A and B are shown apart, each in its own frame.
Chain A
Amino acid sequence: MSALLQYGKIKYECSCGKWRTLPDLFFCRHCFKIKCDDCSCREIDAIFCPRCLDTSSPPEARLKKHKCTSCNDCPNCANVLSARVENEKYYLHCHHCRWSTRDAKQEDRESNKSWPTKENPVTNHLNEVTAYMKRMEVIENAPKDLKKGKGKAWSAIHLKDKFGVQQMVEKRRKAMVPEMNPLKAHDPTEAPTLEEEIENRSNVLRSLDQIIMQPLTNSNELLLPVKVPLQGRVMVRCDECERTLVKRDFGVATYKFKISSFAREFIPDIRMSRPVGELKIGETAHVFLSVTNLSSSPLELTITPQSGEGTIKCSNEPIQLNLPSSKSIDSAAGGVHAEQSDVIVFRQHNRVGLRLDVVPTESDLTSPVLDLLLNYKQDGSFSILAASEKVLKPEESGVDRILSAHLRINLS
């Protein structure tokens, strides 16, 4: 979609200084700043299976090893495995390459859930080692923990040992230091020789995709169904005020938003309405743009072409526009100023077509970039702030702020 609308050629400057296309940006209504992927916080909102849309809580997902128990992919061609019933028993079958669990020498099962997967062969050993490390941690921290509880008065009693406190302390220390059974070091297994490896290898050559899907399976073992990995749905927050920018509606099956402040809904959307002709040094070329107001309030807009280093020179004066909101389409558009009538090509509801004249120089031809600065004011767009701001800053509330956006258009 963005390729069709040529969004890729027009980049807006984010508040962090990066250049992004408009659909990639968010707008914080409280900080009045444009936010991009890199300067916003993300948190996982829900974890779900992309196939069966079954949600699971984070601890549940960890228990499942972030894989769905009921959905499986074909280990051979990575397509969906579907269940077939024969004699009231299930087996999985790929419609694409006709791989089935019978090929993996798996018996048909009574339930379609939790098909076996290849487990790590040293899981038990790993668990032992981690348990050992935890005990070591306790031993290391035991003196520190004791010290924490130690006060001045306590030390005096400790010296006298009037009430048998010393014994208690000793007891406690003993209890805190667990028994230590040093683990055996893991015996290094001998590396297989080349002959052995060739001998054990099956004739089946596996593709890289197959190996990546099941990294634990050796080449002489049969492939097992691959469980579908769970996915996380993300919620976006502003990194400064930590207010939510994007939040999806409850339930994974919906596509609606509870909170959405995408930049498109707040910043005038500028697009190229016609492809730019060939650029020649010293000759005036026309750039046709369309400016759309997708916000819910009317817009006062000034477009100022910037001329700096590395950007193409634009001979137009700053253009002033009034754009009605996308909702009040019927309202009469602001009159076209006589001196700007050669700039404005068309007016259509909440959209205005502009023609800008650019004069390229020799240095521009390799990467012609048109630099524009937008200053705009939206009537009452931020009235939701009024309630809290009226109390805090009475002089600022009710006044529409003048906002600005900076964008670059790639003319090549």
Chain B
Amino acid sequence: MNAEYLWRSIVESVARSNLIFRKKVHIMTDSSRVSIATSTIVCVEAEIKGEVIIKEGCVVHPHVVFDATNGPIYVGENNIFEEFAVIRNNSEGQPMIIGDSNIFQVHSKCSAKYVGSRNVIGVHAHLEDGCSVSDDCSIGPKCRVFSKQNLEPSVAVYGPSNSHRVTSTPNLTPTLQLEFLRKILPSYHHLYNKKKVTAAAQ
């Protein structure tokens, strides 16, 4: 009951902030359903379908899939999505919310309904449909968070049997890595924003 209320309040607050955000952001591409902030770097090889909002400072590597055909995906600030990460909203119309400063490592899959802030989703890790991850969690390589499972703050999931433990050390925010990627990625990749922008201008 309580969780239901919390969930609704989160959704409402995110929807409100997105409304404000859309007014601010002037680049609206793909029939105004995909909106990417100016300081966010998205490589052109990334595949974005449906209603996706990515806020300031994120880095999306090539071959990342955002599939929002079933429901919208809202991504916060300063997230890193590495190669072959798949972010897919499998719910029926429910929004997927991703917070700030998360790292989705290579080949990770996420179809969670809510991901908080400062999480590390490891290589080949899988967040199944409808699970939720709060803040400061780390999901180890090849680990799973099962559907409808809710992770408390500062939980580490590791090992072949998906063991859980509560940690005391915080996840560091990847500021240096973000700065490096923002500098290096545009010099070797075509960017999603620019291509769309130039296409629109012509």
Contacts and interface: CB of A to CB of B under 8 A. Distances in A.
B156 interface: yes
Interface string A97-118: 1111011000000000000000
Contact of A99 (B141, B167, B171, B172): B167
Contact of A93 (B158, B159, B165, B169): B169
Interface in B171-191: 171-172
A98 B159 contact: no
Interface in A373-407: none
Contact of B159 (A77, A102, A103): A77
B167 A100 contact: yes
Contacts, number: 35
Nearest to B169: A100
Interface residues on B, range: 10 to 19
Contacts of B141: 96
B9 interface: no
A97 B163 contact: yes
Interface in A77-132: 77, 84, 91, 93, 96-100, 102-103
A84 B170 CA distance: 12
A31 B169 CA distance: 62
B168 A100 contact: yes
B169 A97 contact: no
B40 interface: no
A97 B168 contact: no
Interface residues on A, range: 10 to 19
Contacts of B140: 96-97
B132 interface: no
Contacts of B172: 84
A76 interface: yes
A96 B159 CA distance: 8
Contacts of B156: 97-98
B165 A76 contact: yes
A96 B158 contact: yes
B138 interface: yes
Q: Is the interface of B mostly helix, strand, loop or mixed?
A: loop
A84 B168 CA distance: 14
Contacts of A102: 168-169
A98 B163 contact: no
Contacts of B138: 98
From B140, B158, B171, B172, name the one whose CB has the most chain A CB atoms within 10 angstroms. B158
From A91, A93, A98, A102, name the one whose CB has the most chain B CB atoms within 10 angstroms. A98
A91 B168 CA distance: 12
B157 to A, nearest CB: 9
Nearest to B122: A96
Interface in B145-159: 156, 158-159
A76 B165 CA distance: 10
B166 to A, nearest CB: 9
A145 to B, nearest CB: 60
A103 B171 CA distance: 15
Contact of B158 (A77, A84, A91, A103): A77
A103 B140 CA distance: 18
A77 B158 CA distance: 8
A394 to B, nearest CB: 66
From B156, B159, B168, B169, name the one whose CB has the most chain A CB atoms within 10 angstroms. B169
Nearest to B137: A98
Interface string B59-99: 00000000000000000000000000000000000000000
Contacts of B168: 100, 102-103
Contacts of B158: 77, 96-98
Contacts of B163: 97
A95 B161 CA distance: 17
Contacts of B159: 77, 96-97
A317 B167 CA distance: 73
Contacts of A97: 140, 156, 158-159, 163, 165, 167
A89 B81 CA distance: 31
Interface in A283-328: none
Interface in A147-194: none
A269 to B, nearest CB: 38
Interface string B37-48: 000000000000
From A84, A96, A100, name the one whose CB has the most chain B CB atoms within 10 angstroms. A96
A91 B163 CA distance: 23
A96 B158 CA distance: 6
> A-B pairs with the 3 shortest C-beta distances?
A97-B158, A98-B156, A98-B167
12 contacts: A76-B165, A77-B158, A84-B169, A93-B169, A96-B158, A97-B156, A97-B158, A97-B167, A98-B165, A98-B171, A99-B167, A103-B168
Interface of B: 138, 140-141, 156, 158-159, 163, 165, 167-169, 171-172
Interface of A: 76-77, 84, 91, 93, 96-100, 102-103
Given A76-B165, A77-B158, A98-B169, 15 more contacts: A77-B159, A84-B169, A93-B169, A96-B140, A96-B159, A97-B156, A97-B158, A97-B163, A97-B165, A97-B167, A98-B156, A98-B165, A100-B167, A100-B168, A100-B169
